[in-house]
Amino acid sequence: MTRFLGYGRQTIDDIDIQAVVDVLKSDFLTQGPAVTAFEKSIADLTGAKYVVAVANGTAALHIACLAAGLKDGDVGVTQPVTFCASANAITYCGARADLVDIDPETMTMSVDGLTAYLADHPECKVVIPVSYGGLSSSNAALRKAAGDRIIIEDASHSVGAIGEDGNMVGTGYADMYTFSFHPVKPITTGEGGAVATDDPDLYKALQLLRSHGIEREPGLLQNTEDAGKPWYHEQQVLGFNYRLCDIQAALGTAQMSRLPAFIARRREIAIFYDREFAGMNHVRLVQARPDQRDRSGHHLYTIRIDYDAVGKPREQVMKELAERQVGSQVHYIPVHRMPYHAPRFEGRSFPESDAYYAETLTLPCFPTLTDDEAAQVVAAVRGVLGS
Ligand SMILES: *Cc1c(COP(=O)(O)O)cnc(C)c1O
């Protein structure tokens, strides 16, 4: 094998490079037309009414939580198997980040778990399920369990994927959907993120929070005496500078035009892997039901390995794969095991998340992975596991 294969990798071609160069030669590097065009490209693909592009996926989660009204002393809930940002966003608002275990069939928040949790914690205000690996959690049962609480889907893995309700991720059962455009994610802007919503009030709040809380539209100003004067604007709430710049946004629009093709290629690789790994000893597939493969964005390709039965600890398996040029990773160390969050979860257990953490391994899956490389990944796993 000639190149080392990471678990994920961006796809950049001449269209992307030209789009960035065009912005660099234009009048606006930030706060120009490229951001609006990027937001429109996301709205067009997902069907969401409104999209607010921001500096990264964590900022998207933060302003979504604030727009949901989360504040000091409140409680928000997410799932243990996620990147820590899903919980941190709740904490940034001064609220307590709590957890509900996953459903191992879907890897998103367990509906039964949420129902039981909310019966004990009716004060919980915001629910953040994660579309792990690109498989959206969108389902009517979760909506019903959440009642009239705000649902924010952490859709960092799943822009371009389809929800269980048949909608593109970005519109449907949740009040807001947050995306990340980090280079390993489905499309990239270097760093970047966005929030999608169908709700005009949430949209207005998100726009304010993205840019210092400053309002410029004359009709929406509180100080009517100065409204309409050419310099006049108002800071109405405490917002942030979470803006995406035009250079990043132009890259994003170029990437969005190829997102369906990126996902189609990821899907081919995932289905090839499913077939190859299905019969291997000590290996279990994840999110591999045909109906799941049909709608997922295939952001992460993971398998569950019984390392005890194999007779090698995970670190040894990862090392031997790396010697064969195959990178691997673990997604994720559960939130309740992070030293920062752990003290709040002493004495509580999340058995499905812990079992998944003990077994999971993420293997290379990205649009430019070739058929030969995918076959080499399979051969390397077979060799290392002795299956
Ligand atoms: C990547 C990711 C984030 C954070 O996104 P950034 O753009 O890196 O800030 C949040 N949640 C999940 C599940 C992610 O994978």
The model's pLDDT over 300-319, given as tens digits with 9 standing for 90+, comes to: 999 999 999 999 999 999 99
Q: What is the pLDDT of residue 246?
A: 98
Whether 71 is in a domain gets the answer yes
pLDDT higher than 80, residue 165: yes
Residue 6 lies inside a defined structural domain of this protein: no
**Domain total in the chain:** 2
Res. 138: pLDDT tops 80: no
pLDDT band with cut points at 50, 70 and 90 for residue 62: very high
Last residue of a domain, one of 208, 232, 256: 256
Which of 99, 182, 191, 329 for a ligand 1 pocket mutation test, highest count of atoms within 8 Å of Cβ? 182
Instruction: Find the angle CA(82)-CA(87)-CA(89) to the nearest 5 degrees.
Output: 125
Instruction: Judge whether 4 lies within some domain.
Output: no
Last residue of some domain: 231, 256, 281? 256
Residue nearest to atom 3 of ligand 1 (CA): 57
Q: What is the pLDDT of residue 137?
A: 78
What per-residue confidence (pLDDT) applies to 139? Answer: 83
> pLDDT tens-digit profile of 233-271?
999 999 999 999 999 999 999 999 999 999 999 999 999
d(CA 220, ligand 1 centre) in Å: 33
Which is the closest atom of ligand 1 to the Cα of 61? 10
pLDDT in tens, 76-109: 999 999 999 999 999 999 999 999 999 999 999 9
Mean pLDDT confidence for 361-366: 98
Q: Inform me whether the pLDDT recorded for 1 exceeds 60.
A: no
The residue to mutate among 10, 62, 169, 180, having the most atoms of ligand 1 within 8 angstroms of its beta carbon, is 180
> Is 70 exceeded by the pLDDT of residue 55?
yes
pLDDT for residue 297 is more than 60: yes
48 pLDDT more than 60:
yes
Residues 250 and 326 in one domain: no
Residue that terminates a domain, selected from 256, 272, 291? 256
Mean pLDDT over residues 99-128, rounded? 97
Structure confidence at residue 367 (pLDDT)? 97
Domain enclosing residue 276, as ranges: 259-385
State whether 52 and 164 are in the same domain.
Answer: yes
Which numbered atom of ligand 1 lies nearest the CA of 180?
Answer: 7
CATH number at residue 139: 3.40.640.10
> Does residue 175 have a pLDDT over 90?
yes
* Closest CA relative to residue 194, chosen from 138, 253, 235: 253
Question: What is the average pLDDT value for the chain, to the nearest integer?
Answer: 97
271 in the same domain as 133: no
Report which ligand 1 atom has the smallest distance to the Cα of 192. Answer: 7
pLDDT score, position 158:
98
Which residue's C-alpha comes closest to atom 5 of ligand 1? 57
Looking at ligand 1, which residue's alpha carbon is closest to its atom 2? 156
My answer on whether 228 and 271 are in the same domain is no
CA of 185 from ligand 1 middle (Å) equals: 8
**CATH number assigned to the domain comprising residue 365:** 3.90.1150.10
pLDDT confidence of 228, banded at 50, 70, 90? confident
pLDDT value for 206: 98
**Contact residues of ligand 1, CB 6 A cut-off:** 56-58, 82-83, 85-86, 130, 154, 156-157, 180, 182, 193
Distance 130 CA to ligand 1 centre (A): 10
